[in-house]
Amino acid sequence: MRIKAKLRVAIACAFALVVVGVIVLSIAFSGLVVSIKRMRQTDEIVKAVFELKLLATEYQQSQIQRIRDQWQSRYTSFLDELRDVQPRTEKQQFILAHMMANHASLGHTFAAFDDIPPPSSDESRIRHEALHNRMMARMDASLMAMVSDANQLSDSIYRDMVRGQWQAITTLGISLLAMVGVIVGLTIMIHRAAIRPLFKLQQDTAVIGAGDLDHRTLIRTSDEIGELSKAFDTMVERLRSVMARRDELDREISQRKLAEEELRKTLDELRCSNRDLEQFAYVASHDLQEPLRKVIAFGSLLEDEYADKLEDEGRLYVHNMEDASQRMQRLISDLLKYSRVTTRGERFVPVEMNDTVQGVLSDLEERIRETEGTVDVAELPVIDADPMQMRQLMQNLVGNAFKFHREGENPHVKVYVEKPPSLDGDGVLCAHMVVEDNGIGIDEKYVERIFGVFQRLHGRYEYAGSGIGLAVCRRIAERHGGTVVVRSKQNEGAKFIVSLPVKHTEGDKED
């Protein structure tokens, strides 16, 4: 049962007990009041009897009409007083009836005084006095009987009053005891239903508040306190889970901080290594290119000035030396380009990709003319990028499309947008540009290999180049936060898809 319902029942019981007690006490005390009133009536009756006796004696002696009228008036009021008395027992009814009879007899006796003839002689005087004395004796007897009856009636009513007093006192005592019992019972019920569970809940919360999250209240009543206890236990269980997750999270944070510290150290070491490698590449490129330029220069002089003195085999050696030196020079140049994608890049600015492609086609005009190829360029987007690297990216892709064309078929290259800009996995809006050709294609098992440094699928005599162009393309795309992928099959052409962010933050633009 709910505490609210228990309190309602308790209040209803207490109210009912109070109402019953008030009714019982009202009845008891009303009876006591009636008894006191009847006691006062009997006192008035006794007093009236003595007044009648005094008035009758005075009238007998004086024969004054005023006294007779007083006696008659008191006699009549005395009858009214007798009629007002309400007997409760048969004895009281009998006494009251006897007093009514004596009252009537007293009236007849008093009236008989007027019927006594006045004395006319001594003899009649003696008879008159004798009759008068008998009448007085009869009146005294009636009055004494009424006094006796009045005393008996008073005694009976007094006993009734005493019984009423005891009943009222007993009723009052029982009512008080019942009220005390109800109060004690309500106190015990409230203590068991509310105070004791609340005190236990307070002790349990103190234990839990001290840090013992394994402690439970375990109050399983069906009232509000039971629900509060269950809710509190559920809250503690959730808090315990949260604390456990927090401890686990603290451990993970500590581990991640250690890992980040290790990563930072590794990155610092990598930056130092990259600086050393960049310096090495720069020095090596200059140190290597200088001897190569001399080799190429002296080879050219040797071929120009001593060509007539060399035999065919000697001229072949000089030619091969010059060719190897030039390939070595191109290789070093391409390596420098690859290494400088991230180290020598320009800040990002809005780039019109259509203008960039037109500039590339202008540079490749001679090759396009020689291969009798065609290029279709659709509308391309404007993106935030490094203009020079975008030109290098497109020049490598479009140049490869003309380089790796099929024999006997004119190359046809299409540059277009594959689909509208869309969000990538990181929520960045990217543009998707495609360079598609009808060339020799790529075997599917080599689609990743071609983006590696110095990765060639054909001999250098079949197709010129150092094998770094596509690696540079991928590195440029990665620097811009994008990707380059290829879809191709052998002898079915190739489709290179370049996905690049449309916008960059200010930090990215500063690079």
* Average pLDDT score, the chain: 77
> Which amino acid makes up residue 112?
A
Q: Is the CA virtual torsion 13, 15, 19, 25 positive or negative? A: positive
Residues 498-511 have a mean pLDDT of 68
- Which of 273-277, 335-339, 426-430, 450-454 is most confident? 426-430
Residue 97's CB is within 10 A of a number of other CB atoms, namely 13
**Whether pLDDT at 463 is above 80:** no
Higher pLDDT residue, 197 or 498?
Answer: 498
Q: Confidence band (pLDDT; 50, 70, 90) for 505?
A: low
Higher pLDDT residue, 413 or 271?
Answer: 413
**Whether pLDDT at 28 is above 70:** no
Tokens 């006794």 -> residue: 46
**Whether pLDDT at 493 is above 60:** yes
**Whether pLDDT at 460 is above 50:** no
Query: What pLDDT sits at residue 376?
Result: 92
Tell me the C-alpha distance between 441 and 438, whole Å. 8
Least reliable range by pLDDT among 265-274, 293-302, 344-353: 293-302
Q: Is the CA virtual torsion 86, 88, 94, 95 positive or negative? A: negative
Q: What's phi and psi for 497, nearest 5 deg?
A: -110, 120
- Which of 218-232, 389-403, 457-471 is most confident? 389-403
Query: What pLDDT sits at residue 510?
Result: 46
Q: Confidence band (pLDDT; 50, 70, 90) for 280?
A: low
Residues 429-433 have a mean pLDDT of 90
**Whether pLDDT at 433 is above 60:** yes
**Whether pLDDT at 285 is above 80:** no
- What percent of the chain clears pLDDT 70, i.e. is strictly above it? 81
Higher pLDDT residue, 29 or 149?
Answer: 149
- Which of 193-197, 305-309, 391-395, 418-422 is most confident? 391-395
Tell me the C-alpha distance between 327 and 343, whole Å. 24
Residues 6+ apart with CB under 8 A from 358: 377
Tell me the C-alpha distance between 392 and 469, whole Å. 9
End-to-end CA, the chain: 72
pLDDT tens digits for 155-174?
A: 887 787 777 778 777 877 88
Query: What pLDDT sits at residue 1?
Result: 59
Say if residues 145 and 48 touch (Cβ distance below 8 Å).
no
Higher pLDDT residue, 152 or 119?
Answer: 152
Least reliable range by pLDDT among 24-38, 199-213, 376-390: 24-38
Q: Where are the alpha helices (DSSP H) in 211-223?
A: none
Enumerate the domain spans of the chain: 3-196, 217-344, 346-510
**Are β-strands 494-501 and 483-488 bridged in parallel, bridged antiparallel, or unpaired?**
antiparallel
How open is the CA angle 324-329-335, to the nearest 5 degrees? 125
pTM for this predicted structure = 0.42
**Whether pLDDT at 333 is above 50:** yes
pLDDT tens digits for 225-271?
A: 777 778 877 888 888 888 888 888 888 898 989 898 888 888 888 77
DSSP codes, 249-302: HHHHHHHHHHHHHHHHHHHHHHHHHHHHHHHHHHHHHHHHHHHHHHHHHHHHHH
Tell me the C-alpha distance between 102 and 453, whole Å. 152
Residue 278's CB is within 10 A of a number of other CB atoms, namely 16
Q: What's phi and psi for 171, nearest 5 deg?
A: -60, -45
Residues 474-487 have a mean pLDDT of 86
Rg (CA), the chain: 68
* Architecture in CATH for domain 346-510: 2-Layer Sandwich (3.30)
Query: What pLDDT sits at residue 354?
Result: 92
Q: In the beta sheet, which residues pair with residue 501?
A: 430
Q: Confidence band (pLDDT; 50, 70, 90) for 461?
A: very low
Query: What pLDDT sits at residue 355?
Result: 92
Tell me the C-alpha distance between 101 and 82, whole Å. 11
Higher pLDDT residue, 350 or 328?
Answer: 350
Query: What pLDDT sits at residue 457?
Result: 47
Whole-Å CA distances, 42 to 48, 82, 92, 167, 230: 10, 9, 11, 22, 73
**Are β-strands 349-352 and 374-377 bridged in parallel, bridged antiparallel, or unpaired?**
unpaired
Whole-Å CA distances, 281 to 90, 291, 325, 388: 142, 16, 18, 21
- What percent of the chain clears pLDDT 90, i.e. is strictly above it? 5
Query: What pLDDT sits at residue 352?
Result: 92
Q: Confidence band (pLDDT; 50, 70, 90) for 462?
A: very low
Q: Contacts from 219-223 at CB under 8 Å and sequence distance 24+?
A: 221/193, 221/197, 222/1, 222/2, 223/1, 223/2, 223/3, 223/6, 223/193
Query: What pLDDT sits at residue 456?
Result: 46
pLDDT tens digits for 66-105?
A: 888 888 888 888 888 888 877 778 887 888 888 888 888 8
Higher pLDDT residue, 325 or 477?
Answer: 477
**Are β-strands 374-377 and 412-423 bridged in parallel, bridged antiparallel, or unpaired?**
parallel
Say if residues 386 and 345 touch (Cβ distance below 8 Å).
yes
Residues 371-392 have a mean pLDDT of 89
Q: Confidence band (pLDDT; 50, 70, 90) for 415?
A: very high
Higher pLDDT residue, 259 or 116?
Answer: 259
